[in-house]
């Protein structure tokens, strides 16, 4: 069985984006996953019930399916699988993270031709609000910022690998699998990162290089990390948190492996800072009224991280 990957999602008032992120996690081909959502004091307190939603996709056999068959729905049907062998198989899959009630496909349902008769399995499913995952946890804390939420989530993890998956990130189906395989092939690397989209804008990254990293950040926070190498986030920072994190990793002797593929998309207006093209930081553009303040905030925040790392 593949090792467990812990996905940590900090969220603050971005429930719509969060649901899109969860849909993309549901579609991951890498199935042994636990999801830890850290609600960083959202104005409307998140509940498990908020994250139970319908996900339509095409199953492996090419049939349409709705994978929101939740435990509460199963209770309402009052019908259960009548095959002990199938029940044992499903219980094994649920425990391994390969399959849960929520990810049951139409073709699989046709093959079973019955219903489970084990209340224990239904009780187990109630703890899994998201389909296709090993476990699903929702943690609530007062608003402390994304770094503190990530640290809280890291404390809850049980996986051999961790990934800080921002609530505005939508991943390609093979994202986790490709990152895992990259780390398997590059045993000296502590983390795997890839190209990504920010809205329509392509961010083409590069091979890991400490000197280049000291000049600018080019690694997104949503990267797969060996848990033994993961470190705490600096909770005092409001911007350039990812740059600080990778610089700190580098100073601890850790390096990453680059996957030259666009494996995810960041939804504009979410948790990622507003992006400006390079020319906006040059004269005369930087002095335009609607750009001036953004440039000033950028440079001040960058200076804080630069001083911390003696750059």
Which pLDDT belongs to residue 47? 79
Instruction: Work out whether strand 5-11 and strand 161-164 pair parallel, antiparallel, or are unpaired.
Output: parallel
CB atoms within 10 A of CB 168: 23
pLDDT at 303: 94
pLDDT at 299: 83
| Residues 6 or more apart in contact with residue 52 via CB below 8 angstroms | 68, 70, 129
Cα separation, 153 vs 144, whole angstroms: 13
DSSP, collapsed to helix, strand or coil, labels residue 11 as: strand
**Count of Cβ atoms closer than 10 Å to residue 155 Cβ:** 12
Residue 249: per-residue pLDDT:
98
- What is residue 280's predicted lDDT score, i.e. its pLDDT? 56
Q: If you count DSSP H runs as helices and E runs as strands, how many of each does the chain have, helices first?
A: 10, 11
Is 132 in contact with 28 (CB distance < 8 Å)? Answer: yes
The radius of gyration of the chain from alpha carbons, rounded to an integer in Å, stands at 21
- φ and ψ at residue 205, rounded to 5 degrees: -90, -155
With beta carbons less than 8 A apart as the criterion, state whether 22 and 180 touch. no
For residues 35 and 7, the answer to whether their CB atoms sit within 8 Å is: yes
Backbone angles phi, psi at 236, to 5 degrees: -85, -15
CB 199 within 8 A of CB 266: yes
Per DSSP, 63 falls in state -
Largest Cα separation within the chain, whole Å, is 73
pLDDT at 206: 97
pLDDT-flagged residues of the chain (< 50):
54-118, 121-132, 272
Task: State residue 100's pLDDT score.
Answer: 33
- Residue 105 and residue 182: Cα distance in Å, rounded? 30
Q: Is the pTM of this model over 0.75?
A: no
Which backbone phi and psi does 162 adopt, to 5 degrees?
A: -130, 150
Secondary structure element (H or E) that encloses residue 72, with its range: helix 71-77
Say how far apart CA 82 and CA 116 lie, in whole Å: 5
- Distance from chain centroid for Cα 230: 15
Tokens for 70?
A: 């939740």
Beta-carbon neighbour count of residue 166 at 10 Å?
A: 25
Instruction: With CA atoms as reference, report the closest residue to 8 among 175, 190, 136, 191.
Output: 136
CA distance 71 to 49: 11
Residues 6+ apart with CB under 8 A from 293: none
């Amino acid at each position: 069985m593949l090792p467990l990957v812990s996905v940590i999602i900090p969220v603050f008032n971005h429930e719509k984006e969060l649901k899109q992120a969860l849909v993309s996690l549901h579609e991951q081909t890498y199935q042994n996953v636990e999801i830890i959502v850290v609600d960083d004091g959202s104005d409307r307190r998140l509940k498990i019930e908020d994250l139970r939603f319908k996900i339509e996709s095409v199953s492996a056999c090419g049939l349409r399916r709705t994978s929101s068959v939740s435990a509460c729905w199963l209770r309402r049907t009052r019908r259960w699988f009548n095959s002990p062998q199938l029940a044992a198989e499903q219980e094994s899959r649920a425990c391994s993270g390969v399959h849960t009630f929520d990810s049951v496909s139409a073709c699989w349902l046709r093959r079973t031709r019955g219903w489970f008769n084990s209340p224990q399995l239904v009780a187990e499913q109630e703890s899994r609000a998201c389909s296709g995952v090993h476990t699903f946890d929702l943690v609530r804390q007062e608003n402390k910022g994304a770094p503190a939420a990530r640290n809280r989530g890291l404390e809850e993890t049980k996986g051999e690998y961790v990934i800080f998956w921002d609530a505005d990130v939508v991943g390609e189906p093979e994202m986790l699998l490709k990152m895992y395989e990259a780390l398997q092939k590059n045993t000296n690397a502590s983390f795997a990162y890839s190209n990504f989209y920010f809205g329509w804008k392509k961010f083409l990254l590069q091979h890991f290089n400490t000197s280049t990293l000291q000049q600018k950040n080019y690694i997104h926070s949503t990267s797969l990390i060996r848990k033994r190498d993961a470190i705490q986030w600096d909770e005092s920072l409001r911007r350039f948190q990812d740059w600080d994190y990778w610089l700190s990793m580098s100073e601890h002797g850790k390096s990453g492996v680059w996957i030259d593929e666009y494996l995810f998309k960041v939804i504009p207006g979410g948790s990622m800072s507003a992006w400006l093209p390079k020319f906006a930081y040059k004269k005369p553009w930087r002095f335009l009224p609607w750009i001036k303040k953004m440039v000033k905030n950028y440079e001040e925040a960058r200076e804080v991280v630069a001083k911390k790392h003696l750059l």
